[in-house]
Chain A
């Protein structure tokens, strides 16, 4: 088991280096940049969910005083035919209500808006495909006439973009051996990431073809490559400067209008700023897939699962690419099951293209499985945690998606739950309790970091992962631990695409793991250089010098009488010992450890109105190692409340024409402060062997379990299950009335 760690910096809770900027309003977010002579861009969006564009006439908009350019997809390289380019500006068809199809740049936002109203578009309105059932039906209306399932040219056109299937053992035999079988269907609606900062960018260009994009994004290098792709440029033509980012949760991993701003800037020769309003954010960005999940699971009387099947259909929106893949891979991940079959369907509908949302794909499929496990526990009269312990994946279990699990913390989380005072305290009659497990794979990918030492020994980290939740503090803590210097002497900076080495996006819970690994290695590079400088000063071989507690010291047994040299000492004389101290590392991180959690929700229900109130929520999660425990708890608490929102009230409500009726924070109901209790957290540490400090990503797992935990709590209190989300008052009251 885990060694007893003896850290000086890691595990402490210092103030983040960018904190003062953020509490005083000085930090610059996406919409905060204004440049001289800047124009304002606005996008014209489709009023139809599905229509053929017969004609776009921009002339009246272009003629307006104060308008500098009006463009459509015809103003973009036609040889680029990617889904991305067609999502940014529709070509032949508009595929969802809110689909962009033209844009203008004008002197003021108001003039730009008025110019949009003067763009004439002739549509041939087509019937929209709005549900999984309609889209998967034979002879369904097609979202894309030339899409064939799995690109198979021999199959007819279909809305099913892709299927997948994987299995192990023999499910027929497994179900035959089962004493108890649960079989249920579950629907989860589309939810939006709901970041508070709308998408925003400013693009500038010069006549030589070079462009600069300032924008709010989780991945400046991904914005660079996507923008280059749509505009048929080379990435070296484009510089992307990430602003501070006001939330993303996966929704700021793709581009929506950055290439449009660039094109408008190129055509006008002026900086162009584009900022979405909240309605545009809801209509045209995100969301997470709506899903239909069918689960069958069988077990012996003692609780041992003998077989399980999952049939998972995910809405992709207007273009292929739902997260049904990770949905399939995660559905049975917490369990060691000999016989299983998983089938997945990626399905087009006339809705916005889905985007990643925190553990993309897992909340929906695992909601279904964790509800089924809860039903199994009811049928077997077993404690839901005992049932899960009976089947829990552990080190050495072959994960359903292929690899053998290295050390993981599921059993430790379940055991911690069983002894947690919040679990030991049984609920009263009026309170229902539901348990569920969460999981996410986590990813590694590419990161770079530089560590610069100033002449007074101050440490400056330059890295490329936008700081979306306090990651600068984690980088500084790992650097402080590695270098052995005080946290307060270190600062961390997020560079642009020309000032830092390549770095993949902030996503997949990879930043503290992979960019953190690069920072640790860059610090080790600095240490190696410091040892060499000390050796030079002391006229020793570098092998005779050690680095201990932030100082170069002669190794034990080296017979020399010198004072240790601190980082500051070495920095002071670096001009005489070889010049600036600069540590570097770049890597493609392997071995991001999987992250498991156990959550439970305690609820009450007003049986006359159907309102579900969350009275208490407890989250237990394996962090591998919590570098900054307060920010780990912050991920657990924030993810829990997003999951609770999805369970209770969040959903996209479409009318029969495919128009989202609740495209505002008024009617898309994210939890407010008075809706929620405190979110109790316990961090478990089962170190990840692939990281020097044992880090696992913690950002995504927290959203997974709250959906089923809340469903299960409602089941506990009502005595019957409501399979579909959200558990909104009308849905819950209708179910109570139907049960009476």
Chain B
């Protein structure tokens, strides 16, 4: 009668085989990492039968590899564990802070960046931070792996580019050059425990004269998917990321936003606040870039 199942494969191959077999048999599968979105949605929105495929026993999804060119971060590592990695925190303070903002201490013990991305909420806190860090999503497929830029991963509210028999292994993120800093800020009504009403991530690289040579700006919770706002980045490149430039980037974010009114905020509110957050996050990113110049 009932058709619930749980498996925790120990290799990528086994995981893919389980997914393929279930897809062939018409059984619904549910990839499980930290479960802090999956189990909530299972309990309160759709409790239909499914096979839970727990990917936390895989080496790859728990891996952190810090190499010269790239840094690999496994998809299923709990944020609480990531935030204990000082090296990672020094490389991507904005991304790690974004991960740290997700939920309570208890949620931090489970919630992962990969899960946050795969949940594909417009308000996922780590997604703008992944985007500004030019993270590539590494996806396991039957042919091996494929990569997708993080700004292309989410395709709609709760939708993404993963096929039924695929799953996310982790992220390959370029090592930031000297003089680079990132930051992420979100707005919530309380101090903790809320979903972002708006969020903004900024990464910028300053040269020795303090001129911004590269910038990426991404905003969340103000459109069906997190957005990469190139007009905001353009407002920063070639400037010292001073107040004027940051204000222009903020305006570009407000202009790029396509928010809705819902229980968490209004169109007007989100449009205005996302600009404020961009400006404030930009100032933090600039400070970090300045202190990273050697």
Contact present between A and B (CB < 8 A) = yes
Distance in Å: Cβ of A60 to nearest Cβ of chain B: 14
A450→B287 CA distance, assembly (Å): 70
B258-294 vs A, CB cutoff 8 Å, 1 = contact: the mask equals 0000111110110011001000000000000000000
The stretch of B56-64, B172-180, B191-199, B225-233 in contact with A is B191-199
Instruction: Give B44-92 interface residues, CB cut-off 8 Å to A.
Output: 44, 47
Complex Cα–Cα for A491 and B2 (A): 50
**CB-based nearest B residue for A673:** B192
Please give, as numbers and ranges, the residues of chain A lying within 8 Å of B2 by CB-CB distance.
Answer: 110
Q: Is the CB of A667 within 8 A of B190?
A: no
Q: Contact partner of A674 among B187, B192, B273, CB < 8 A?
A: B192
**Interface check A671, CB cutoff 8 A:** yes
Give a binary string over A646-665; 1 marks a CB under 8 Å from any B CB, 0 the rest.
00110001000000011011
How many residue pairs link A and B with beta carbons under 8 A? The number is 63
Q: Is the CB of A666 within 8 A of B263?
A: no
Tell me if A3 is interfacial: C-beta within 8 Å of chain B: no
Tell whether B189 is near chain A: CB-to-CB under 8 Å. yes
User: A278 — nearest CB in chain B belongs to which residue?
Assistant: B44
Closest B residue to A663 by CB, please name it. Answer: B44
**Shortest distance in angstroms between B100's beta carbon and chain A's nearest beta carbon?**
13
Residues of A within 8 A of B197 (CB): 729
Which residues of the partner chain B approach A661 to less than 8 Å between Cβ atoms? 262-263
Q: Does B163 lie at the interface of the complex (its beta carbon under 8 Å from any beta carbon of A)?
A: no
Quick check: is A608 within 8 A (CB to CB) of the other chain? Answer: yes
Given contacts A672-B191, A674-B191, A729-B269, contact A667 B276 (CB under 8 A): no
In the complex, the answer to whether A669 meets B195 with C-beta atoms within 8 Å is no
- Is there contact, CB below 8 Å, between B192 and A609? no
Chain B residues whose CB sits within 8 angstroms of the CB of A730 once the complex forms: 265-266, 269
The proximity string for A residues 706-740 relative to B, scoring 1 for CB distances below 8 Å and 0 otherwise, is: 00000000000000000000001110011001000
Query: Which residues of chain A are within 8 angstroms of B273 by Cβ–Cβ distance?
Result: 608-609, 729, 733
A733 contacts B192, C-beta separation under 8 Å: no
Task: Tally A residues with Cβ within 8 Å of B.
Answer: 29
Q: Does A649 contact B190, Cβ atoms closer than 8 Å? A: yes
Q: Judge whether A611 is part of the interface by a CB distance below 8 angstroms.
A: yes
Asked if B187 and A609 make an inter-chain contact with CB atoms under 8 angstroms apart, the answer reads yes
- Most chain B CB inside 10 Å of its own CB: which residue of A666, A671, A737: A666
Are B44 and A675 interface neighbours, CB within 8 A? no
Interchain CA distance A523-B47 in the complex, whole Å: 56
- Once bound together, how far apart are the Cα atoms of A728 and B268, in whole Å? 14
Interface contact A608-B276, CB-CB below 8 Å: yes
Once bound together, how far apart are the Cα atoms of A622 and B262, in whole Å?
42
Residues of A within 8 A of B47 (CB): 113
Could you say which residues of chain B place their CB within 8 Å of the CB of A608?
272-273, 276
The 5 nearest A-B residue pairs measured at CB: A674-B191, A730-B269, A661-B263, A608-B276, A653-B263
A–B pairs, 30, beta carbons within 8 Å? A110-B2, A277-B43, A608-B276, A610-B269, A611-B189, A648-B189, A649-B189, A653-B263, A661-B263, A664-B44, A666-B193, A666-B194, A667-B264, A669-B189, A669-B193, A672-B190, A672-B192, A674-B190, A675-B191, A675-B192, A728-B189, A729-B187, A729-B197, A729-B265, A733-B269, A733-B272, A734-B266, A734-B268, A734-B269, A737-B268
Please give the residue numbers on chain B whose beta carbons come within 8 Å of chain A beta carbons, in ascending order.
Answer: 1-2, 43-44, 47, 187, 189-195, 197, 262-266, 268-269, 272-273, 276
